[in-house]
Amino acid sequence: MAQRLRQARKLAVLTGAGVSRESGIPTFRDAQTGLWASYDPARLATPQGFLADPPLVWRWYDMRRAIVLDAQPNPGHLALSEMEEMIPSVVIITQNIDGLHARAGSRDIIELHGNIARYKCFENEHPQADVQPGLGEPPRCSCGSLLRPDVVWFGENLPPAALERAFSEIRSAQVALVVGTSGLVQPAASLPFIARHHGAYLVEVNPEETATTIIADCFLQGRSGEILPRIVEAMRDLKV
């Protein structure tokens, strides 16, 4: 498998919340803790959830943003960045909204679900740069619409350019590496199948089997923070 990676011209990496778990960011399916235990993330992360109670959803993202801004890239993020030294083209297609791949040094990142550190207005998607933290409820855009996090909620389309590029990159990759995703959320979950359909060698890294495991050429069971650095080591040991 290390040989395949080392000889690939293009590696496409699909990451999910599991990659950031070892940076202390709970995955979407981790039980909500404390104050948020009684809220269903799949309900809060929707336009309807936001309109039903803007201050509640605003505070939920404020809490999650504080965790993200406090988090550091872990050895899994760093290993993906190091692969760029040995493979001509590495594109990170992430479902995560935490920005940790960029902070780890990866240079070609497609954020399928947006980024929690960015804001836009609900009605017109006007970007909004600096928003005061700890407001307790969403401020308004100059157009009068409520501000919201610049993330993709359930029931919302993914940014068309990002999705189109993700499809194109995954179709032309020789190796697809799927890390830390349960493979339940569409359309991101279709990417590994598209990779396989176009002849990519499919590697999955996850402590548990997922919907993708059945089509993986190589399933490495374990934590990404432990396995990805070992893959990089194995690649470095290869004489190519």
Catalytically active residues are 113
Which one of 11, 25, 49, 95 is in contact with ligand BV8 (CB under 6 A)? 95
How far apart CA 85 and CA 171 sit, in angstroms, is 22
Nearest to 150 by CA among 187, 186, 125: 125
The residue with its CB nearest to ligand BV8 is 18
The residue (of 172 and 213) whose beta carbon lies closer to ligand BV8 is 213
Taking CB under 6 A as the rule, does residue 11 contact ligand BV8? Answer: no
Nearest to 53 by CA among 137, 124, 125: 137
Using CB under 6 A as the binding rule, the residues of this chain from 55 to 94 that contact ligand BV8 are none
How far apart CA 218 and CA 146 sit, in angstroms, is 46
Helix (H) or strand (E) holding 176: strand 175-179
Taking CB under 6 A as the rule, does residue 17 contact ligand BV8? Answer: yes
Adjacent-strand bridge partners of 14: 93, 178
Which one of 34, 208, 237, 240 is in contact with ligand BV8 (CB under 6 A)? 208
Helix (H) or strand (E) holding 78: helix 75-82
Instruction: Label the pairing between strands 114-121 and 127-128.
Output: antiparallel
Taking CB under 6 A as the rule, does residue 120 contact ligand BV8? Answer: no
The residue (of 106 and 182) whose beta carbon lies closer to ligand BV8 is 182
The residue (of 81 and 210) whose beta carbon lies closer to ligand BV8 is 210
How far apart CA 97 and CA 157 sit, in angstroms, is 15
Beta strands in 36-139 (DSSP E): 89-94, 109-111, 114-121, 127-128
Taking CB under 6 A as the rule, does residue 29 contact ligand BV8? Answer: yes
Which one of 13, 92, 110, 151 is in contact with ligand BV8 (CB under 6 A)? 151
Taking CB under 6 A as the rule, does residue 186 contact ligand BV8? Answer: yes
The nearest distance, CB 46 to ligand BV8, in angstroms, is 8
The nearest distance, CB 102 to ligand BV8, in angstroms, is 16
How many CA atoms does the CB half-sphere of 44 hold within 13 Å? 18
Q: Which stretch binds ligand BV8 (CB under 6 A): 17-25, 117-125, 126-134, 138-146?
A: 17-25
Which one of 182, 191, 195, 200 is in contact with ligand BV8 (CB under 6 A)? 182
Amino acid present at 145? S
